[in-house]
Amino acid sequence: MTALPQRLDAIDALRGFAMVWMTVFHFCFDLQTSGYIRQDFYADPFWTWQRTIIVSLFLFCAGLGQGMAVAQGQGWGRFWRRWRLVAVCALLVTAGSYWMFPRSFIYFGVLHGLAVMLIVARLTAGWGRWLWLAGLLAIASKFIAESALSTSVIAVFFDAKPLNWLGWITRKPVTEDYVPVFPWLGVVWWGVAAAQWLQRTGPAWLSKPLPRPAAALAPLGRWSLSYYMLHQPVLIGLLAAFAWLRA
Record the pTM: 0.92
Asked if residue 63 has pLDDT above 80, the reply is: yes
- Enclosing H/E stretch for 161: helix 161-164
Please report the pLDDT score of residue 202 as a whole number.
Answer: 66
Percent above pLDDT 90 for the chain: 77
147-172 residue pLDDT tens: 888 778 888 899 998 999 999 999 89
pLDDT at 6 over 80: no
Judged by average pLDDT, the poorest of 13-22, 85-94, 198-207 is 198-207
| pLDDT value at 22 more than 60 | yes
pLDDT score recorded for residue 2: 46
- The DSSP symbol for 103 reads T
Computed from CA positions of residues 119, 123, 124, 126, in that sequence, does the dihedral angle turn out positive or negative? Answer: positive
Mean pLDDT of 200-226: 83
* Average model confidence (pLDDT) across the chain: 91
Per-residue pLDDT at 30: 95
pLDDT digits (tens, 9 = 90+) for 34-52: 999 999 999 999 999 999 9
Domain limits, the chain: 9-238
Q: What is the pLDDT of residue 223?
A: 93
Confidence of residue 203 (pLDDT cuts 50, 70, 90): low
What are all long-range contacts of 111-114, with beta carbons under 8 Å and residues at least 24 apart? 111/86, 111/228, 112/165, 112/179, 113/59, 113/165, 113/179, 113/180, 113/181, 113/184, 114/59, 114/62, 114/86, 114/90, 114/179, 114/188
Q: What is the pLDDT of residue 247?
A: 83
